Amino acid sequence: MNKLSRIFLILIFTSIVGAQSVTIMPYHLPIIYKDSGVRENSSLTGVYGAFQSDLNNKFELAFDYSDLNYISNFKIKQYDFTFAYTNESIPEWKFRAGGHYIISDDALTDQAYILFAGVGKYRFRSWDTSIDVYYSNYSDYLPSFGAIQFSPGFGLTFPFDKTQGIYIYSSADYIMLNKSILSTKRNYFSLQETLTYYNNRFSISAYALFGEQKFAVRQKGFLVYNVSDLMKNGYGISVTYSFTQNFFLKGGIEYDKFDEEAYGTSATSTKLIILAGFNF
């Protein structure tokens, strides 16, 4: 067992011990590529866990396995580990920190890591605002480089009653690379708008992303694009249904447009989301 495995097991044990609330979500995402010069259909499979010892302390863990297929039967296997801790000891404030680590057959991004921290302020069933900062380190890349990403966001909740309403969330991502990768450009900016309708059993959410991203970190640190592609516009929709308080299912689809700058091609990816959730 290597050092990382031991650390991850310690984090799992520390998170579970004393947890009063546990959520486990296994998921599978088939990825369909179109017009790519190098990629073939691939997949990502993983499991996410959230553990709360009380209302003020939350631990999150995720393990992902990506099976990435390329032309000429070339394959890359990648493992992603994510850990995050959120503290809400101060009323209506959230403080969050964590890290993301990559083990990959791709020597350029193997052992890359991301550190992140954020702070948020909210008013229950009214509004929320936050800013997250991510530092990405790719020491084995050619050339080696680092990236800093600032991700502010603001959301408004419009409740119809105690069980249903609409939530609107606007966010931005500003990415700064300390070296140019495949182009002279080093700074990238994007905006994302998300609209969600929810009730006590059902929710539907849709988003649209505009702008450009490179080596982006998404989903609060749990999804890392450790490739040199220039990510462009994207959109997605998902539906979640709770059968009981302890079990729910989520399905969705996400579409991204990107440029494979290393090959001079433009392509799209479509991700299908299949997720099950268990609350204990």
Q: Which amino acid is at 60?
A: E
1 has pLDDT over 80: no
Residue found by looking up tokens 């969050």 in the block: 96
Residue range 24-30: mean pLDDT, rounded: 98
pTM of the model: 0.93
Q: What is the mean pLDDT of the chain?
A: 94
Q: How far is CA 198 from the centre of its chain?
A: 21
Give per-residue pLDDT as tens, 38-68.
999 999 999 999 999 888 999 999 999 999 9
Give per-residue pLDDT as tens, 219-238.
999 999 999 999 999 999 99
2 has pLDDT over 70: no
Contact 234, 219 (CB under 8 A): no
According to CATH, what is the number of the domain 3-279?
Answer: 2.40.160.60
198 has pLDDT over 90: yes
Contact 120, 90 (CB under 8 A): no
Confidence at residue 54, expressed as pLDDT on a 0 to 100 scale: 87
The pLDDT-based confidence of 239 (bands split at 50, 70, 90) is very high
Q: How far is CA 214 from the centre of its chain?
A: 14
Kindly provide the b/e burial profile for residues 209-229, where b requires at least 16 CB atoms within 10 angstroms of the residue's own CB: bebbbbbbbbebbbbbbbbbb
Give per-residue pLDDT as tens, 119-168.
999 999 999 999 999 999 999 999 999 999 999 999 999 999 989 999 99
